[in-house]
Homo-oligomer: A and B are copies of this chain.
Amino acid sequence: ARPKVGYFYSGKSLLSVMGSFIKNMSVMEVKSKPVIVSEENTVYDSIVTMFLEDTGNIYVQNKGYLSGIVSRKDFIKVTLGNHDIKNLPVAMIMTRMPNIVYVESNESVYDAAVKIIHHEIDSLPVVEKIVLDDKSENMKIIGKISKTTITKVMVRIGNE
C-alpha cells in the first residue's frame, strides 16, 4: 500500500493528522487479555504464572474486582529478600489502590501511552467502574494495555 499520488503534507500537518488518529483509536480496539490471580495466590505461584503466560505484570483481584498489580521488579525484590515465597500471599507485595494507574473504556491509545510514560510503568488495566449498593466504587478488569500493545499498534500502522 502506498500513499495516493497528489497528496502532500508538510511534516507538521502529517504529524497532526497522525496525532488525531491515535487520539481517536480507543483502548477497546487494541486491548489484550490480562493475566489475573487472586490475593491468596502465593508469590511463588504468581511467578510461575508470570513465566507460563510470559507477561510482565499480573493483576490481582479480590471478590471479582481489581485490588492490586505485581511486576517483575516486585518479584525480584522479594526473591532477593529470602522470604518464604511459597507461603507468602501475593497481596503482601502488590501495589494497591490508590497507587494503581488504569484506563477506562472511553480513553484512547494516546491517553494510555501518556500514562505509561508519565508514571514509568509497563502496563495499565482497562477497567469498568461499578458502584455497589453501599456506594463503594469497584473496578472490574476488562483488559490490559501495555508497552507491547502500543508496539503492536506501531507494527500494525507500518504494515498498511
Q: A154-B153, A155-B117 are in contact. Are A15 and B160 (CB under 8 A)?
A: yes
Q: A23 interface residue, CB < 8 Å from B?
A: yes
Judge whether A148 and B117 touch: CB under 8 Å.
yes
CA separation between A79 and B77, bound complex, in Å?
9
Q: A134 interface residue, CB < 8 Å from B?
A: no
Q: A3 interface residue, CB < 8 Å from B?
A: yes
Judge whether A110 and B13 touch: CB under 8 Å.
no
Number of this chain's copies in the complex: 2
CA separation between A158 and B111, bound complex, in Å?
9
CA separation between A63 and B18, bound complex, in Å?
44
Query: A92 contacts which chain B residues (CB < 8 A)?
Result: none
Judge whether B20 and A21 touch: CB under 8 Å.
no
Stretch of A4-12, A32-40, A95-103 at the chain-chain interface: A4-12
Contact of A16 (CB < 8 Å), options: B1, B17, B72: B1
CA separation between A132 and B71, bound complex, in Å?
42
Contact of A154 (CB < 8 Å), options: B4, B73, B76, B110: B110
Q: A140 interface residue, CB < 8 Å from B?
A: no
Tell me the nearest residue of chain B to A153, going by C-beta. B154
CA separation between A152 and B150, bound complex, in Å?
10
Identify 9 new A-B residue pairs, CB closer than 8 A, beyond the known A19-B157, A109-B154: A4-B13, A9-B17, A19-B158, A19-B159, A47-B80, A50-B76, A51-B73, A72-B76, A113-B154
Q: List 28 A-B contacts (CB under 8 A).
A: A1-B15, A1-B19, A3-B16, A3-B17, A4-B13, A7-B17, A9-B17, A14-B21, A16-B160, A17-B17, A18-B157, A18-B160, A19-B159, A22-B158, A47-B80, A51-B73, A56-B72, A76-B79, A110-B154, A113-B155, A117-B151, A117-B152, A117-B155, A147-B150, A150-B150, A150-B151, A150-B154, A151-B151
